Amino acid sequence: MGSSLVSEKKTALVTGASRGIGNATAAALAAAGYDLILTGYSHPDKLETIAHDLEKRYSRKVTTHVGDVSDPVFIKEMFSSMDHLDLLVNNAGISYVGLLQDMSDEDWNRTMGVNLNSIFYTCREAIPVFLRNDTDPAGRIINISSVWGIVGAATEAAYSASKGAVNAFTKALAKELAPSRIPVNAIACGFIDTEMNGHLSEEEKQAVIAEIPADRIGLPSEVADAVVLAASAPAYMTGQIITVDGGWI
Ligand code: NAP
């Protein structure tokens, strides 16, 4: 009953694949049989190395695009060369830590542009590509969000607002796309060991870990495994904000 049919050759797009969670997600999807379209921005060399390694290790086709996900022209151009897509993983993101009263308009807009607007741009382009698929589901969208989008964090109001908006966007678009057989879900990460948390001292990291029931920081590969699970979940599972946080919130 209800087995998910996918095309023989599955292709996934992962934004922000040059480091951290996006890099781990690209590797997990390649291992799961996906050809990959990967994006990066300020680390094009790292992106090329990752693409080359995954191509070699898993014998998958991997293509790369370098550009700013908050730029709708870059996103449009990337999709103009795309003839097929099964899975969109919106992962690229930035954090901003600081008191709201000191935050500039530019930093606010940048946070929203990279974390939220980018997802509007990619989904807008991906939906018509998915609708051409003769598969069930026709395509899938997985947004990488944050527990701060659910509970909020002091000194991260803009980041929390951007991820809260991603969560609401996920739920709304899931309703809009359910009749078209396109599940939309989000993975709300807790404290994950990437360069995004590089500004924290060892003492600060231990203070965060002390609040986490799992008593440790999460691994990018654990988020990646959750992406692979969500990418093969029943299509009836849509509009969900799935936390991967060691029981934190
Ligand atoms: P990361 O190690 O800092 O990596 C961020 C990735 O996003 C990089 O590949 C980077 O590419 C890309 N990126 C940043 N700005 C971009 C832009 N303007 N255009 C295109 N790509 C851009 O961060 P991460 O921890 O892996 O974060 C990945 C996602 O997980 C983000 O959405 C983040 O909010 C979310 N998350 C992370 C945590 C955590 O604790 N780490 C917790 C909750 C949620 P370049 O390096 O090439 O510029």
Q: The domain spanning residue 196 has which CATH number?
A: 3.40.50.720
Tens-place pLDDT, residues 218-231: 999 999 999 999 99
Output the six-digit token pair for 214. Answer: 């799992």
Determine the pLDDT at residue 8. Answer: 67
The reply to whether 202 falls in a domain is: yes
Tens-place pLDDT, residues 8-49: 689 999 999 999 999 999 999 999 999 999 999 999 999 999
CA of 92 to the centre of ligand 1 (A): 4
Exposed, middle or buried: residue 179 (CB in 10 Å: 0-12, 13-18, 19+)? exposed
Report the domain count for the chain.
Answer: 1
The reply to whether 249 falls in a domain is: no
The reply to whether 78 falls in a domain is: yes
User: 92 CB less than 6 Å from ligand 1?
Assistant: yes
Output the six-digit token pair for 78. Answer: 């990337």
Confidence band for 202, pLDDT divided at 50, 70 and 90: very high
The reply to whether 234 falls in a domain is: yes
Is the pLDDT reported for residue 5 higher than 50?
no
C-alpha separations of 162 from 1, 111, 149, 167 in Å: 38, 7, 7, 9
Mutation test residue for ligand 1: of 23, 187, 192, the one with most atoms within 8 Å of CB: 192
Angle among Cα 169, 145, 191 to the nearest 5 degrees reads: 160
Q: Which of 124, 120, 125, 197 is nearest to 166 (CA)?
A: 120
The reply to whether 126 falls in a domain is: yes
User: 119 CB less than 6 Å from ligand 1?
Assistant: no
The reply to whether 85 falls in a domain is: yes
Instruction: Residue 128: give the domain boundaries.
Output: 3-244
The reply to whether 41 falls in a domain is: yes
What does pTM read for this prediction? 0.97
Instruction: Give yes or no: 159 in active site.
Output: yes
Is the pLDDT reported for residue 4 higher than 70?
no
Q: Which of 41, 96, 121, 159 is catalytic?
A: 159
The reply to whether 181 falls in a domain is: yes
Q: What is the mean pLDDT of residues 181-205?
A: 98
